[in-house]
C-alpha cells in the first residue's frame, strides 16, 4: 500500500506477526516500529530494508521522536548481522548515540558488548577474496571498539604492528595501515607519537606521509595532540600537508578543546601560513574544526572565531551551518541524555 496522506488506516484480514513499513527500503517516510515489531521484522527484512530502518532510527532519535535506548537496542540487534553493510549502518547509529551519552565510559561498555567479539573475529589481517564492504566494516569495527569502546586489550595489539610498520613499510596491508597506526597512536602514548613524527620528517614517500598524517589525526591525549598540532607551524613541513590535522583532531570531543585553544593561541601565525586554495581556503574553513561539537563550548568558540575571520571567503556560511549543526546535536543530547544514562 502506498501512503498518499499524513495518516492512513489499512484494513487487515488477520494479525500479521511482522510488518515492513518501508517496503524495499525505498519509502519516503521515516518508519518508527516499536521494539517488539522491529525485532519480529528483523529476520525477514532485506539488506536495504535493514539499513533504512537503522538510518530512520538515527533521524528519529535526533528529533526526539524515538528514545535513544530504543535506537540503541535496534543497533544492537543488527550489530552481528551477516551482511557487513548492515553492521556498518549499525555502527553509524551507535556512534551518533555515543555523542549524546552523558557517561562516556558507561556507554563504552555497550560498544564492547555489541561489537567487541566481531572486531576480534575480523582481526588485523584481511583475507583473500574479501569484498570491499567486508574490508570497510573491519576498519570501522576495529576503530569503534578501540576508540569509543575503550578496549585496552585490543588497542594494545595494534602497537607492535604499528611499530614494525614504522621500520618496515611493507609489513601492513595498505587497506588497514592507517587504521592500525591510528589505533596505536591513541593507546601508545608519547613514545608512539614521537616515533611517528620522526618517521614523518624522514619520509620522502607521499603515500607514507599521508598515512602518517592521518594516523596523527587519531591522537587524543592533550600533550600528544599539541605535539601533532605543532607540525602545522613547522616551516620544514608543507602546511598543505599538515593543515588537515586541525580538522581531524577537532572531530573528537576529547581532542577538540586542545585544538580550539591552539587555534586561539596561534591564529595570526596560522592565518599567514594556511594555503588559500580550493581545498584549504585560508582561514574561512576553520569553523569546521568544531563541526562535530555537541556542546555550548564548541558553539561559543565558533562564534568567537567568526569575529576574527570576518568576511573571509565563505566564512559566514560555514559559521552558520556549523553553529546550527552544533545546536541540533546539543538539542538531541538534552532530549536523550536522561534515557541514555540508564544504559
SS3 31: coil
Contact 87/78 with Cβ under 8 angstroms?
yes
Write the burial class of residue 167 (CB in 10 Å: 0-12 exposed, 13-18 middle, 19+ buried): exposed
Instruction: Report the SS3 class of residue 172.
Output: coil
- Domains with residue ranges and CATH for the chain: 33-149 (1.25.40)
Half-sphere exposure for 159 (CA within 13 Å, toward CB): 13
The pLDDT value given to residue 281 = 66
| Residue pLDDT, tens place only, 301-319 | 999 999 999 876 678 888 9
Give per-residue pLDDT as tens, 91-138.
999 999 999 999 999 999 999 999 999 999 999 999 889 999 999 999
Percent of the chain with pLDDT over 90: 75
CA separation for the pair 136, 55 (Å, rounded): 18
pTM above 0.85, yes or no: yes
CA distance 196 to 183: 12
Mean of pLDDT values over 221-237: 94
Q: Which three cell numbers stand for residue 121?
A: 573475529
CB atoms within 10 A of CB 226: 16
Tens-place pLDDT, residues 253-272: 999 999 999 999 999 999 99
CA distance 215 to 245: 10
Comparing CA positions, the residue from 209, 226, 218 lying closest to residue 251 is 218
Query: What does the alpha-carbon distance between residue 300 and residue 45 come to, in Å, rounded to a whole number?
Result: 44
Please compute the mean of the pLDDT values over residues 210-226 and round it to a whole number: 93
Give me the pLDDT at residue 304, please: 95
Amino acid at each position: 500500500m502506498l501512503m498518499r496522506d499524513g495518516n492512513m488506516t489499512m484494513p487487515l484480514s488477520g494479525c500479521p506477526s511482522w510488518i515492513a513499513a518501508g517496503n524495499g527500503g525505498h519509502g519516503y517516510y521515516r518508519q518508527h516500529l516499536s521494539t517488539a515489531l522491529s525485532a519480529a521484522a528483523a529476520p525477514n527484512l532485506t539488506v536495504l530494508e535493514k539499513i533504512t530502518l537503522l538510518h530512520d532510527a538515527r533521524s528519529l532519535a535526533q528529533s526526539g521522536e524515538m528514545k535513544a535506548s530504543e535506537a540503541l537496542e535496534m543497533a544492537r540487534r543488527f550489530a552481528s548481522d551477516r551482511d557487513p553493510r548492515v553492521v556498518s549502518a549499525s555502527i553509524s547509529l551507535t556512534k551518533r548515540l555515543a555523542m549524546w551519552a552523558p557517561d562516556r565510559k558507561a556507554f563504552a561498555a555497550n560498544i564492547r558488548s555489541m561489537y567487541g567479539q566481531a572486531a576480534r573475529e575480523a582481526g588485523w589481517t584481511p583475507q583473500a577474496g574479501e569484498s570491499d564492504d567486508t574490508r570497510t566494516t573491519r576498519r570501522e569495527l576495529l576503530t569503534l571498539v578501540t576508540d569509543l569502546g575503550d578496549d585496552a586489550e585490543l588497542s594494545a595489539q595494534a602497537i607492535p604492528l604499528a611499530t614494525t610498520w614504522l621500520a618496515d613499510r611493507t609489513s601492513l596491508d595498505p587497506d588497514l595501515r592507517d587504521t592500525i597506526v591510528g589505533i596505536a597512536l591513541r593507546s601508545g602514548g608519547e613514545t608512539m607519537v614521537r616515533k611517528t613524527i620522526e618517521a614523518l620528517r624522514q619520509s620522502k614517500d607521499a603515500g607514507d606521509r599521508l598515512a602518517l598524517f592521518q594516523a596523527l589525526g587519531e591522537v587524543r591525549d592533550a600533550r600528544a595532540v599539541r605535539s601533532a598540532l605543532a607540525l602545522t607551524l613547522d616551516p620544514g613541513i608543507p602546511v598543505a600537508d599538515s593543515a588537515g590535522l586541525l580538522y581531524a583532531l577537532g572531530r573528537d570531543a576529547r581532542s577538540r578543546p586542545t585544538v580550539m585553544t591552539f587555534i586561539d593561541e596561534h591564529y595570526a601565525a596560522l592565518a599567514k601560513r594556511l594555503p588559500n586554495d580550493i581545498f584549504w581556503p585560508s582561514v574561512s574553513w576553520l569553523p569546521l574544526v568544531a563541526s562535530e561539537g555537541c556542546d555550548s563550548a564548541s558553539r561559543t568558540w565558533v562564534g568567537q572565531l567568526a569575529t576574527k575571520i570576518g568576511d573571509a571567503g565563505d566564512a559566514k556560511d560555514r559559521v552558520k551551518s556549523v553553529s546550527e549543526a552544533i545546536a541540533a546535536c546539543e538539542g538531541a543530547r538534552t532530549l536523550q541524555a536522561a534515557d541514555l544514562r540508564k544504559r
